[in-house]
A = this chain, B = another copy of it.
Amino acid sequence: MKQPKIGQYPFLAEPFHCGFDKQLLLSHLGNYLLNAADYHSSERGYGVSCLNTINKTWVLSRLSVELEDTPKVYDKFYVETWVDGVLKFFTSRNFKIGDNSGRIFGYGRSMWAMIDTETRQPTDILAIQEGTIRNYIDTEYPCPIAKPSRGKNIELSTPTRIIDTRFSDVDMNGHVNSIKYIEHILDLWDIEWYQKHRVWRFDIAYVTEAHQGDRLQFYSTSDSSGLHSDIVITKKGDDDNDVVVCRCSIDFAYLV
């Protein structure tokens, strides 16, 4: 049976995934977006579990979220997702977060590469199942937010935070979990800040994979208002040089 281009998946803002303000933490919302992407691609024949059988996998390259509002604890909401563009080595996938009452929390955009799990090199997306993904491209459905940012190169002088990655940071691929980076980045601010501000836009670009035991250095810089911040995470490479792992930018809005 041919699936519709847009998939819609229901979720619930679970109590232990909410922060002090009873709102779903952005890291957990990010998890739901990635779940939706996974379910959507699996149902259409190009999901990770199918790709793994031919030594391929999706790698998240960039993720952006722009939020007008955030689901509160016990809120039922949905994530819609669809692919709006496919190139040989990259796919762009959009997200809409809303609920059945017609409320829209926000939107997301993402970029994904497909790699060969043995060579770790990019592989031709359109060669998979005779390019079946092309049948599911929707360029009409609105996603009224800017494209994902590559992130900014900032000065890497003194890290704001250093963490040693641990067992629970690591995902099924043996790499630091995409969601855990978001959690660690949001932890650069404390509750006092979040009592007055909310994230309205979050961009993250994943550059190099990190593993358990890697020491991550977080560098950050903010504008004078503190409302815009750029973050770069690095690890030590084989030659002891700093290697960029992620670049991120966050825009905060004052809570009203």
Contact = CB atoms under 8 A, between A and B. Distances in A.
A216 to B, nearest CB: 14
B167 A191 contact: yes
B18 A171 contact: yes
Interface of A: 14-20, 22, 25, 27, 31, 34-35, 38, 48-49, 73-74, 166-168, 170-172, 174, 177-179, 183, 186-187, 189-191, 194, 212-213
A167 B186 contact: yes
Contacts of A27: 168
Total identical chains:
2
B183 A170 contact: no
B48 A15 contact: yes
A167 B179 contact: no
A15 to B, nearest CB: 6
A38 B213 CA distance: 36
B177 A190 contact: no
Contact of A19 (B17, B18, B31, B170): B170
Most buried by B among A15, A31, A48, A183: A15
